[in-house]
């Protein structure tokens, strides 16, 4: 069959119109991957915020002393889960010598709708000591929780004046684990290989030590002693003194730095309330307060969260006693 030129022009014109419509529809829909992208946008948002405090001091801390600070329902890592090997997280050797303790790391969850979440944390060069809720799996230097963020539940009772209540008052969503535990955050404690960003050398007759920042040091740095508070920070590539005041000012001076690193106002206030005595350090001698970088935090306590959060904040604070 032979098609005449007029018919061919009409057919070509029709095909062109169809192609134009297809292009318009593709642009309007966002292209072939639009369905997948739209599905991602439709997924409930998951935000995860964490803070932890490292205590660096001359004396060794025992597990019993650490447990005495926590509510009675907090469990010990070695007793918290059946001997099921974790499916991921590369094994990291546990060193026998003492390491600075990472105290009260707390993970807060915020989700647009209830969702199943899996959290894995490893202690590089150390091991977990305490945790709550009970882990789904705990072995060696690793912990793993499976649970549901945004689930309903009732946490175990605690004294209203206990620091644990300060963490609940943040208002994060509840986390119900597959082992029956429920809390408004994940809590863990233990030891990990510490990467010191500052070096402190005592000076005879002076309560404040000599400070040597390493290349990975971040500001601000606070030195609290019997003379009060001295704050240092990096300005134009050099470390300089930026403030002097009373020791009690450390809370107010520290809060903007916590907010600047991504914590909410409620999360920052909870950290300051829980650690108020240690930050001010009344009657405990001189000490330094400073941050560790996000990269150092991730190396010391590698974390994996599934599904991957839309936002993951991790803020590490150090209290180093001289």
d(CA 259, CA 268): 7
Across 76-80, 203-207, 285-289, 294-298, least confident range: 76-80
Same domain, 123 and 272: yes
Same domain, 141 and 273: yes
Same domain, 183 and 301: yes
Q: Average per-residue pLDDT in the chain?
A: 83
pLDDT confidence of residue 282:
66
In a domain, 188, yes or no: yes
Read off the tokens for 104. 């009260």
In a domain, 215, yes or no: no
In a domain, 212, yes or no: no
pLDDT, tens digit (0-9, with 9 covering 90-100), for 145-201 = 999 999 999 999 999 999 999 999 999 999 999 999 999 999 999 888 888 899 998
pLDDT, tens digit (0-9, with 9 covering 90-100), for 18-61 = 444 444 444 444 555 554 445 455 667 999 999 999 988 876 77
pLDDT confidence of residue 83:
40
Same domain, 259 and 301: yes
The DSSP H or E segment spanning 122 is: strand 115-122
Task: Look at the chain and report how many structural domains it folds into.
Answer: 2
Stated pTM of the model: 0.80
Same domain, 84 and 26: no
In a domain, 203, yes or no: no
pLDDT, tens digit (0-9, with 9 covering 90-100), for 105-120 = 999 999 999 999 999 9
What would you report as the CA-atom Rg of the chain, rounded to the nearest whole angstrom?
26
Structural domain for 21, as ranges: 5-41
Same domain, 283 and 189: yes
Read off the tokens for 100. 């600075």
Q: Is the peptide bond before 106 cis (omega within 30 degrees of 0)?
A: no
Backbone region of residue 288 per phi and psi (left: phi > 0; alpha: psi in -120 to 50; beta: other values): beta
96 has pLDDT over 50: no
In a domain, 209, yes or no: no
Same domain, 149 and 253: yes
In a domain, 211, yes or no: no
Same domain, 308 and 167: yes
Same domain, 14 and 150: no
> Which of 246, 267, 248 lies closest to 317, judged by CA?
267
Same domain, 145 and 112: yes
Same domain, 11 and 159: no
């Amino acid at each position: 069959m032979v098609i005449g030129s007029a018919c061919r022009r009409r057919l070509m014109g029709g095909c062109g119109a169809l192609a134009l419509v297809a292009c318009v529809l593709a642009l309007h829909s966002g292209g072939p991957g639009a369905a997948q992208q739209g599905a991602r946008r439709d997924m409930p948002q998951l935000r995860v915020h964490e803070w932890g405090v490292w205590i660096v001091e001359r004396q060794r801390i025992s597990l019993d002393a650490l447990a005495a600070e926590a509510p009675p329902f907090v469990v010990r890592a070695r007793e918290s889960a059946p001997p099921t090997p974790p499916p991921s997280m590369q094994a990291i050797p546990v060193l026998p010598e003492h390491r600075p303790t990472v105290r009260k790391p707390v993970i807060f969850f915020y989700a647009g709708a209830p969702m199943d979440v899996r959290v894995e944390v490893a202690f590089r060069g150390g091991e977990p000591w305490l945790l709550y809720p009970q882990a789904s799996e705990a072995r060696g230097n690793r912990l793993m929780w499976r649970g549901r963020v945004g689930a309903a539940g009732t946490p175990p009772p605690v004294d209203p004046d206990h620091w644990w209540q300060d963490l609940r008052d943040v208002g994060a969503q509840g986390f119900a684990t597959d082992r029956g535990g429920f809390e408004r955050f994940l809590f863990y404690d233990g030891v990990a290989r510490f990467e010191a960003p500052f070096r402190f050398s005592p000076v005879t007759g002076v309560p404040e030590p000599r400070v040597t920042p390493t290349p990975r040091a971040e500001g601000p740095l606070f030195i609290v002693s019997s003379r009060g508070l001295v704050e240092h920070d990096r300005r134009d590539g050099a470390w300089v003194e930026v403030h002097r005041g009373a020791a009690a000012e450390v809370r107010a001076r520290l809060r903007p730095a916590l907010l600047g690193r991504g914590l909410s106002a409620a999360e920052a206030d909870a950290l300051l309330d829980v650690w108020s005595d240690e930050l001010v350090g009344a009657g405990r001698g001189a000490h330094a307060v400073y941050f560790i970088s996000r990269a150092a935090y991730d190396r010391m306590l590698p974390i994996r969260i599934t599904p991957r959060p839309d936002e993951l904040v991790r803020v590490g604070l150090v209290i180093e006693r001289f």
